[in-house]
Amino acid sequence: LPNHGLAGFVTKDLPFLRTLRIPLIVSIAGETVREFVTLAEWLSREEGLAAVELNVSCPNVDRGLIFGVDPQLTREVVAAVRAVCTRPLFVKLTPNVTDIVSIARAAEEAGADALSLINTLVGLAIDIQTRRPKLGAGTGGLSGPAIRPIAVHMVWEVARHCQIPVIGMGGIASAEDALEFLIAGARAVAVGSAVIDRPGVAAEIRVGLERYLQEHQLHDIVDVIGSLNVTAHGS
């Protein structure tokens, strides 16, 4: 995504973000392990950051593969960053894999403190008049409500097989959506696309979660996390 780069972020964006007095998690992406390490090392020296997130959905120019589609590449980049990063380390996983649990386990074993999932799904939209892709790059990342069931399923799978916290994301636009992720095992949720049209959506979700707890006579949101009942209907 377009941005100022790390130097621009540190000098232009970070000073303002610090004034908001909320936990700040900075997501970084690189094309080589060395780039990831450089970014993480720099951010570790900055005050006021709650965590660093590695977006491993990026191509590895040295290997010709996306980091997050291969357990060994994931383990390599996470371990390298873990060695220099003094902040809590989150790893954002791509759903464009056949076995996301193996990727998640590799990140956990390499020292990740939490897992963020899912990133966007690769999609293709075609202009039927020109018979060309609608996006300049051809394919692009699909986000929003369409990917939520896939995201919830992947969160459920990863949460069952990993010990570190899972942060669920992918199509969350309401308290009901957030609850699906929490019930599936996410310890926290993140909202992306919905913020574009409704900047106050996070506050709305919080109110909705509090209402749900009251209606179900629950004392804390932790009572919801991982509470999915998978017993087959009728049994």
Residue by residue, what is the 3-state secondary structure of 61-102? Answer: CCCCEEHHHCHHHHHHHHHHHHCCCCCCEEEECCCCCCCHHH
Strand order in the sheet with 114-117: 25-28, 51-55, 89-92, 114-117, 166-168, 188-189
Signed CA dihedral, 177, 181, 186, 192: sign only = negative
**Max CA distance (Å), the chain:** 59
H or E element, residue 13: none
Q: Tell me, yes or no, if 85 is annotated catalytic.
A: no
E strand spans, the chain: 25-28, 51-55, 59-60, 65-66, 89-92, 114-117, 121-124, 126-127, 132-133, 139-142, 166-168, 188-189
What whole-number distance in Å separates Cα of residue 113 and Cα of residue 110? 10
The three-class DSSP label of residue 117 is: strand
The pair of three-digit structure tokens given for residue 57, joined into one six-digit string: 């959905």
Q: What six digits make up the tokens of 107?
A: 């990140």
Cis peptide before 100 (omega within 30 of 0): no
Q: Report residue 80 as tokens.
A: 């390298």
Of the residues 29, 52, 58, 100, only one is catalytic, namely 58
The residues that are catalytic are 58
